[in-house]
Structure 1
Amino acid sequence: MDVRSRRLMISVGLGVLLNPLNSSMISVAIPRLQHVYRLDFTVVSWIIFSFYIASAIAQPVMGKASDLFGRKKIFLTGLVVAFVASFFAPLSPNFGWLIVFRIVQSIGTSMMVAVGMALVRIHITEKQATAISVLSIFLSGAAAIGPFIGGVLIHWWDWSAIFFVNIPFMVASFLLSWRTIPKDEPPTSVARNMSIRKWLNLIDASGILLFAAGLVALLVGLLSAKSSGHVSSGYVVVGLIGLVLLAAFVRHELRATSPFIPLRAFAKYPAMTWINVEFMLVNVLFYSLFFGLPSYLQTVRHVSEFHTGILMLSLGLCSLIVSPIAGRWIDKSGPRPALLVSAILMTFGSVWIVTLNQNSPVISVCLALAAFGISNGLNNVGLQAALFNNSPKEIIGVASGIFNTSRYLGTILSSLLIGIVMGDQFSAGGLRALGIILTVISLFLVFLSRRRREPNPNSPSANG
């Protein structure tokens, strides 16, 4: 890889790492935000919901936008948008404005993720596989060390530092990208002449609106009822409105010519559908621990943000170390053995959480974190391999998009689960209840893994 390619890799890498970094740093900041804004966990959890809902929508939309308007333009615009959001978020006069800037930050960082891989594929032609793997390290590494960085920043400064820390990365990425990313080709006549109405149809704006409004309304109804401790007619109505909007979304997607989420693919390829269900459940398990355990450690066990970040580092490091090993194992044996081991490890970690009490050594939490970290490394590689094995070649791009959507849905559901189980205040009893639910889910994943069948290489699905 020549000097120019290395500079391009660094400039793109510094941009794409911002999305996973900001999605993970916040896990250690939630108790501090609860204290600063005097809110319970169910309200503060919207700092998580908002980021992932916006990412789930923005990444596919910005991927389409880059094809029409240029990848360099989208990447640089994303850096500017994320810079503005990261600068003003700590200055928010109230929690509502913080959510607004968090959404803007998610959109900006998603713009870079949406086009980062494409920039590497197009402009780095030598040792392309190596370049893509390096970019994946930027993404997974940022997510892995995010809680540790967040813990250190909050310990030595304050929660605002997890936003300000983005600024040096953004400035460096912008200056490098401006010089190293080649200029975009002039837009085609189709892009130049595309009306706003055609553009909205292309990104399925109606579907996006129904999806976002329905999901938010359903979450508001469920979380508000839990937070208030009783079920009122108002919360029921909001939740029902959410369900109606999501039903309308499904109906719309089945009829749309360019659907936001191609639901027909689920019915046509059931093996691919089950992989996405499994991926969603895996993320429910992983992120329930990822977001729930830091709040438990700080509010129940009174562990500092700094030490919480160090403990959470065991989760990320195990995931990073295992991922390349998992790749070699899966190349030889297929995804089934790795995914079965992963499900067993998640079951062990979930059961271990159930056994924790007020007198358990804090260091023993690392056993559960290590089990989930190893399983995460196995799942990231194993389920991606299973997806490629069970998806026809002609729809592999669509399959990858659905796969990422499953990740975000799992993350959103994990936050919902924590909010419903914990309610206003984290407690040891709430953590045990969460552990029991996670154990049931992980046992179901063990069942799915045992029943998994490797595709016949001569089947139409395998060959496309």
Structure 2
Amino acid sequence: MTDRTTTARGDIGKAGFDRRLIPPMMLGSVLNPVNSTVIAVALVPIGAAFGAPPSQTAWLVSALYLATALGQPIVGRLIDIFGPRRLFLLSTSLVGVAGVVGTLAPGLGVLIAARVLLGFGTCAGYPAAMALLRTEAARTGQDSPAGVLTALAVANQTIAVAGPLLGGLLIGLGGWRSTFALNIPLAAVAVTLGALRLPRQPSTGTAAVRGRLAAQIDLPGMALFAAMLFSLLLFLMNLHAGTWYLPVITVAAATAFAVRELRARTPFIDLRVLGGNPALLATYGRALVAYVVSYAFLYGFTQWTEESYGLTPFHAGLVQIPMFLVGIGVSVTVGRSTGVLGKLLLGGAGQIAACVLMLTLTEGSAVWTLLVLAVIFGVPQGANGLALQNSVYFQSDPRRTASSAGLLRTFAYLGSMVASSATAASFGQRASTSGMHHLAWIMLGAGALYLLVTVFDRSLRRPSADVAERTSTS
């Protein structure tokens, strides 16, 4: 992919990163976080509109993550093979279709289907951005684009944190359907920018060349991966005795997937390379537990502020402005260096402090305590996402940057699914204070595990350049 893209673009801006790519990269990568978070303050009004309790509206969260967790590494692999342009344009077009379906949805079922379409539609943005970063690094000889990596992380975490506020504003202006209609203009702009600025791929030429490219698509591996992940996520969304068969399917599919990938000439996920890269595996594990904490706060705590504390959707989003501001400040400050250990430790400590404070809150707590909590949560919001993204960039096989980035998002979505299940189990029919405290204990356990995995990971003490050199020669 790198060679074909570079050839297509020639020597444009060879002295540095081609900044014409930044707008479509940024917009494409934020389509997922904006849809992940804007829904947070819409769950209660949607539930009221359709007479659905939190245990049912939680599917609006789960559906998007289920689709995206499946789609990100698959689309990422296709980007590694064919380049980002085609996949970017196709996926972002689907976002617009999903926006129309969601805006006109007559019931909760159709609304959930729209969220599935959004999940698949937002799959290409982030892997495409990471692939373009790798391509530009190879073209310019600058293998540490810290500034662009930081900008990408800041854009994603800014949108993620600002999502509830944006959702509250949209709901105040046009009702909860406006949170879906938002995707129509966003998709139109993304497709236009992608068509104008993303590098065109040269023609694949002869049938033999096209055949070699197609041979790199491991369809059986992708299908087994989908079966494994789908059954696991369904189990996480329905944690009760009646779903005992789902983990059995997960184990069977995982076994078949491992056998297939170890035998495949061009595997979907190269398990030998991945198994020989414990640093990258640890990064994926950290992503999972970090997002358990992050999304449990985003969805669970936000529901509590509306249902038990009594805030409107707009004010529930307004309370999170300090997290938005602190997150940006932390990302910009710590993004000046490529090292990740300090960022991870800072984020881990912030998670634990915030969870402890959540345990002290009640319906009678002063508003300023909610603002203090948002400030504290801004620290891991700004530090963790940047550290995890930088880790994957330097630790992954350069030939599989997009699929490795997609797999990072998959582990993040696994964490979000655990958070969604924990939120539904903690609240039941109503987001009560006791349920919020129960959720906070779960978050605290995940935060402690995150910190332990970080402290005992020796690979984090190596300079990023050493990690990059070791990975590229593996």
Amino acid at match of 1:178: A
Q: How does 1:126-205 map to 2 (within 5 A)?
A: 129=145, 130-187=147-204, 189-190=207-208, 192-193=210-211, 201-202=218-219, 204-205=221-222
- Report the counterpart of residue 24 of structure 1 in structure 2: 37
CA distance in 1, matches of 2:399, 2:198: 29
* 2:294 counterpart of 1:289: no
Matched, 1:374 2:379: yes
1:361 correspondence with 2:329: no
1:295, distance to aligned residue in structure 2 (A):
0.6
Aligned partner letter, 1:88:
V
* Superposition map of 1:307-386 within 5 A: 307-328=315-336, 331=338, 334-385=339-390
**Could you report, residue by residue, the CA deviation over 1:113-142 in whole angstroms, capped at 9, with x for unpaired residues?**
332343465479679734554444433322
Sort the Cα spacing of 1:195 and 1:123 in 2 relative to 1 into closer, same or farther, 3 A.
closer
Instruction: Write the letter of the residue equivalent to 1:377.
Output: G
Q: Whole-Å Cα distance in 1 between the matches of residues 169 and 141 of structure 2? A: 36
CA contact (8 A) 1:250 1:263 kept: no
**Partner letter of residue 409 of structure 1?**
L
On the 8 A contact 1:78/1:108 being kept in 2, the answer is yes
Question: TM-score scaled to structure 1, two decimals?
Answer: 0.84
CA shift, 1:60, in A, is 2.0
CA contact (8 A) 1:16 1:113 kept: yes
> Structure 1 residue aligned with 2:286, among 254, 258, 278?
278
Alpha-carbon separation, structure 1, partners of 2:122 and 2:18: 22
Structure 1 residue 380 displacement after superposition: 2.3
CA distance in 1, matches of 2:141, 2:218: 38
- Deviation string for 1:370-395 (max 9, x for gaps)? 21220222222334455677778787
CA contact (8 A) 2:327 2:382 kept: yes
For 1:233, the equivalent position in structure 2 comes to: none
Please identify, of 124-133 and 410-419, the stretch whose mean Cα deviation from structure 2 is larger: 124-133
Change in 2 beyond 3 A, CA 1:298/1:181 = same
1:232 counterpart residue number: none
Distance change >3 Å, CA 193–CA 437, structure 1 → 2: closer
Once residues 166 and 76 of structure 1 are traced to their aligned partners in structure 2, the CA distance between those partners, rounded to angstroms, is 15
Partner of 2:218: helix, strand, or coil?
A: helix
**CA offsets per residue over residues 254-312 of structure 1, 9 Å max, x none?**
11225555555665444443333222111111111011111111111120111111112
Match of 1:247 in 2: 251
Output aligned runs, 1:8-19, within 5 Å.
Answer: 8-19=21-32
After superposition, the CA RMSD in angstroms is 3.3
Distance 1:50 1:263, change over 3 A: farther
Larger relative contact order, structure 1 or 2 (CA cutoff 8 Å, min sep 6): 2
Q: Deviation digits for residues 217-263 of structure 1, max 9, x if unmatched? A: 413531xx5xxxxxxxxxx34x2221011101220221122555555
Counterpart check, 1:219 vs 2:229: no
Q: What residue number does 1:229 align with? A: none
Moved more, 337-346 or 247-256: 337-346
Corresponding residue for residue 421 of structure 1? 426
Q: Which structure 1 residue ranges, 5 or more long, are not aligned? A: 226-235
Report the more deviating stretch, 150-159 or 111-120: 111-120
The one-letter code matched in structure 1 to 2:411 is: S
Distance of 2:457 and 2:82 partners within structure 1:
42
Report the Cα distance in structure 2 between the residues aligned to 1:313 and 1:340, rounded to whole angstroms: 24
Separation in structure 2 between the aligned mates of residue 121 and residue 245 of structure 1, nearest angstrom: 36
Match of 1:299 among 303, 307, 325: 307
In the other structure, the counterpart of 2:108 is 95
Structure 2 contact 101–110 (Cα < 8 Å) conserved: no
Residues of 2 paired with 1:242 and 1:313: CA distance? 40
User: In the aligned structure 2, how far is the partner of 1:351 from the partner of 1:132?
Assistant: 31
- Say whether the 8 Å CA contact 2:75–2:403 is kept in structure 1: no
Please, which of 59, 65, 88 is the counterpart of residue 75 of structure 1?
88
Which segment is superposed worse, 262-271 or 74-83?
Answer: 262-271
Q: 1:403 aligns with which of 377, 394, 408?
A: 408
Distance 1:391 1:116 in 2: 15
Residues 253 and 263 in structure 1, CA contact (< 8 A), matched pair in contact too: no
Aligned partners of 2:228 and 2:251 also within 8 Å:
no
Q: Residues 43-58 of structure 1: matches in 2 within 5 Å? A: 43-58=56-71
Amino acid aligned to 1:47: L
Letter matched to residue 320 of structure 2: M
Q: Structure 2: how far apart are the matches of 1:358 and 1:417?
A: 21
When the two structures are aligned, how many residues end up with a matched partner?
Answer: 446
Distance 2:393 2:93 in 1: 35
Identity %: 24
Residue 253 of structure 1 contacts residue 262 of structure 1 at CA under 8 Å; is this kept in 2? no
CA distance in 2, matches of 1:110, 1:388: 18
> Which stretch has the larger CA shift, 311-320 or 95-104?
311-320
Aligned to 2:9: none
Distance in 2 (alpha carbons) for counterparts of 1:114 and 1:195: 19
Mean Cα displacement is larger for which, 7-16 or 418-427? 7-16
Go from structure 1 to structure 2 and tell me whether the alpha carbon gap of 1:184 and 1:392 turns closer, same or farther (over 3 Å shift).
closer
Cα distance in 1, alignment partners of residues 355 and 382 from structure 2: 17
Quick check: 2:62–2:237 contact (8 Å CA) kept in 1? no
Partner in structure 2 of residue 113 of structure 1: 126
